[in-house]
Amino acid sequence: MTARAADLHIEDLTVEFSKGDYRVRPIDHLNVTVKAGSLALLLGPSGCGKTTLLSCLAAILKPTSGSITYGDQEITSLSGRALTEHRRHGVGVVFQAFNLVPSLNSVENVAAPMRSAGVGARAATQKAVGLLQSVGLDDRLTHKPNNLSGGQQQRVAIARALALDPPLMLADEPTAHLDYIQVEGVLRILRSLTDNGRVVVVSTHDDRMLPLADQIIEMRPKFLPNTDVAPTQTTLVAGESLFSQGDPSDLIYIIDSGQVDVVRDTTDGELLLATLGPGDHLGEMGPLFGLRRSATVRARTDSTLTGYSVKAFRDHVGADQLPSLIRGR
Amino acid sequence: MLRAALRDLQWRKKRFVIAIVGVALVFAMGLIMTGLSESFSREVDRTLESLDAETWAVSENASGPFTSFEPIAVTLAGREPSAMMVVRKTVDDGGTVHDVIALGVERGRLGAPHASDGADLAELGEAVVDEDFDVVDIGESFELGSRTFRVVGTVSGQRLYAGLPIVYISLADAQALVVQGQPFATAFLYESPPAKVPRGLRTMSNAEVKADVLRPLENAMSSIDLVRVLLWIVAATIIGSVLYLQALERTRDFAVFKATGTSTAAIGLGLAVQAVVLSLAAAVIAALLAVALTPLFPMNVEIPASGFMMLPVITVVVGLLASLIALRKTATVDPAVAFGG
């Protein structure tokens, strides 16, 4: 292990931000520990917060609450020079779209972070050449990104992320733009990065990468199993919430009695989307598509609702009615 | 970041070359405007210097020796000063009319021309003309008013009012042309300031005479200055547009730089370097263009050395000011953009 090798602790991390005129909470009270020298895979569909978590780990995004600690350094509390130092020396990032600077050749791209950190030109170039050789690009040192394949660009990006030998390495969808031959080479390199005790966190929605990981961090919201649970009745008093915006989705509801308001939390406060009454259904999109609740449902009057699992709801309304129900609102 | 900035210049060289040529043309026009404005002043300096007077005396009713026609009796000032009569005339050259300023001078005295080519005035009916008076050559004759003059010599660079050539004739010929040969003059020239001048006259220094000559050109000179300022603004707009466009295109580059610990100041410095390189390259081309274009102008364009020396300074200032919007853009780039797909 390197002297800087340490465990990564994510504690009660929540990220909430405004997107357009409404709020989203892609990360909701996340708790994870990644051991030194291990590769953790952030797995989940688009929009589940993988990139948001990487942004927090890279100290690019401040979480709403919670903390991220690497060794004895709390990343989430960094600011000013300490923040810059962390970005330079504490973490290396391999971006999804490679993000190489098109006007710089491979060596210059890898040397750029070192030059910004004050490393001399000769030393930076020498180290860049060494890193590129280590990822198998001996013959592509002076090529510009537009003359490199996707896999070669990804390897240059990995070499750049390693330029200042960071103890924490992040990779955002590193295989997204690669064919299967290129993927093989990149996976081998990613796996080897943990050899000296480095923590590697890789985000992906590609479950073929599972064998690569020492640890899987499931970023999909925790839902109730989509099994045939019996319908359950819920009673709300006026003002009481059935569920809140951003909550994991479980059941689809049909109103038996009373009235409920569907409201969205926006940057300007709550926006009333609809008031629903007996016979109306609500909350179908989340359970059907594995999404979080996109609005809060609150009882306007004392109300009674029946909650259905997806299967039970399908049986209740008839499978052929689902498409029109989805289109309906 | 310096290398990245210079590499980016290479990478987008077509755009930068187009911008440099555009800015160079604008800077060249600015230089030429400076030369035009300067030539108005310099031609007066040269003409007054060749007349060699320390002090002028004109009628109290005259605004100056070249801008008013207020005849004074030659005998009024005695023999100490030399007399001069200034007359605005036209010369018809086979249907083409040429404006000239005829100076009637006392041959061999203060104000008489010293020909740089040919001979000085010696006889009545002779003229020494500025070399820009290209109606006739030395030895040939031309009609001025009702009289015929033979060119015996030429002087160089003696013009007034944005290029009107001086035509030296004898005082007697000038008197014959405009006051039927009466002994009148419009100005007296002194080698040194006189203790006193006769009643009805007032003295003027060369600086006052120059200011009086330039007065009718004030609007033209102010307009040229205004156009010059507009040209700097156009140049700044071109540079600013190119850099801003580039900052927009390089948003992801900047985000990556920031995400990997490069300071905003360092990124801004790279943009500023690009602005300076663009401006200085344009300045060099502008100087060459201005020198090449100057002879094409019908008017004399005298770009001062200070204009060439100040050009890099002005261009760098213009370039840096123009890059401010792009610099502001870089400051607002969110490093999280680097995580986009």
Mean pLDDT (whole number) for A248-263: 90
Q: Strands B96-105 and B164-170, how do they pair?
A: parallel
- Tens digit of each residue's pLDDT (9 = 90 or more) over B64-76: 999 989 999 998 8
Q: Is residue B60 within 8 Å of residue B200, measured between CB atoms?
A: yes
Q: Cβ of A102 and B11 within 8 Å?
A: yes
Give yes or no: residues B92 and B23 share one domain.
Answer: no
- Tens digit of each residue's pLDDT (9 = 90 or more) over B183-234: 999 999 999 998 888 889 999 999 999 999 999 989 988 999 999 889 988 8
Nearest CB neighbour to B261, from listed A55, A101, A113: A113
Give yes or no: residues B206 and B224 share one domain.
Answer: no
Give yes or no: residues B13 and B99 share one domain.
Answer: no
- How many Cβ atoms from other residues are within 10 Å of residue A262's Cβ? 21
Per-residue tokens: A125: 């170039």
Q: Does B180 touch chain A (CB under 8 A)?
A: no
Q: Is residue B99 within 8 Å of residue B88, measured between CB atoms?
A: yes
Q: Cβ of B4 and A112 within 8 Å?
A: yes
Per-residue tokens: A247: 């909550």
Shortest distance between the Cα of A87 and any Cα of chain B, in A, equals 5
3-class SS at A269?
strand
Closest CA relative to residue A138, chosen from A107, A108, A93: A107
- CA angle B87/B88/B90 to nearest 5° reads 125
Count of alpha carbons within 13 angstroms of residue A46, beta-carbon side:
4
Could you say which of B170, B194, B216 is where a domain stops? B216
Give yes or no: residues B135 and B280 share one domain.
Answer: no
Q: Cβ of A99 and B338 within 8 Å?
A: yes
ipTM of the complex: 0.71
Which residues share a beta bridge with B59? Answer: B201
Nearest CB neighbour to B11, from listed A54, A86, A103: A103
Alpha carbon distance, N-terminus to C-terminus of chain B: 24
Q: Strands A168-172 and A22-34, how do they pair?
A: unpaired
Give yes or no: residues B53 and B167 share one domain.
Answer: yes
3-class SS at A235?
strand
Q: Does B15 touch chain A (CB under 8 A)?
A: no
Mean pLDDT (whole number) for A224-246: 82
- Distance CA(B123)–CA(B108), nearest Å, equals 11
Mean pLDDT (whole number) for A283-299: 84
Give yes or no: residues B137 and B233 share one domain.
Answer: no
Give yes or no: residues B194 and B331 share one domain.
Answer: no
Could you say which of B181, B216, B251 is where a domain stops? B216
Q: How many domains, in total, are found in chain B?
A: 2
Nearest CB neighbour to A51, from listed B255, B260, B339: B339
Q: Is residue A239 within 8 Å of residue A269, measured between CB atoms?
A: no
- Distance CA(B311)–CA(B313), nearest Å, equals 5
Weakest mean pLDDT among B37-46, B154-163, B239-248: B239-248
Give yes or no: residues B105 and B195 share one domain.
Answer: yes
- Distance CA(A321)–CA(A325), nearest Å, equals 6
User: Taking CB atoms and an 8 Å cutoff, what residues of chain A touch B258?
Assistant: 87
Q: What is the mean pLDDT of chain B?
A: 89
- With a cut of 70, say whether residue A145 has pLDDT above it: yes
Q: Output Rg (C-alpha) for chain A, integer angstroms.
A: 24
Nearest CA in chain A to B266: A116
- Tens digit of each residue's pLDDT (9 = 90 or more) over A97-122: 888 999 999 999 999 989 888 889 99
Q: Strands B141-144 and B82-93, how do they pair?
A: unpaired
Alpha carbon distance, N-terminus to C-terminus of chain A: 56
- Distance CA(B22)–CA(B31), nearest Å, equals 14
Closest CA relative to residue B323, chosen from B262, B250, B255, B273: B273
Domain that holds residue B209: 46-216
Q: What backbone torsions phi and psi does residue A184 show, to the nearest 5 degrees?
A: -55, -50
Residues 215-244 of A with CB under 8 A from B: none
Closest CA relative to residue B21, chosen from B230, B288, B246: B288
Determine the residue among B16, B252, B260 to mutate to test chain A binding: the one whose Cβ has the most chain A Cβ atoms within 10 Å.
B260
Determine the residue among A99, A114, A202 to mutate to test chain B binding: the one whose Cβ has the most chain B Cβ atoms within 10 Å.
A99
Q: Tell me which H or E stretch contains B232.
A: helix B218-249
Give yes or no: residues B93 and B204 share one domain.
Answer: yes
Which residue has 């580039």 as its token pair?
B246
- Distance CA(A234)–CA(A232), nearest Å, equals 7
- With a cut of 60, say whether residue B51 has pLDDT above it: yes
Could you say which of B216, B243, B272 is where a domain stops? B216
Give yes or no: residues B157 and B277 share one domain.
Answer: no
pLDDT for the residue A1: 43
Give yes or no: residues B64 and B119 share one domain.
Answer: yes
- With a cut of 90, say whether residue A237 has pLDDT above it: yes
Give yes or no: residues B171 and B100 share one domain.
Answer: yes
Q: Strands A39-43 and A199-204, how do they pair?
A: parallel
- Distance CA(A246)–CA(A265), nearest Å, equals 10
Shortest distance between the Cα of B21 and any Cα of chain A, in A, equals 22
Weakest mean pLDDT among A210-214, B129-133, B288-292: A210-214
pTM for the structure as a whole = 0.71
Q: Is residue B186 within 8 Å of residue B70, measured between CB atoms?
A: yes
pLDDT for the residue A108: 93
Angle, in degrees to the nearest 10, between helices B218-249 and B264-293? 140
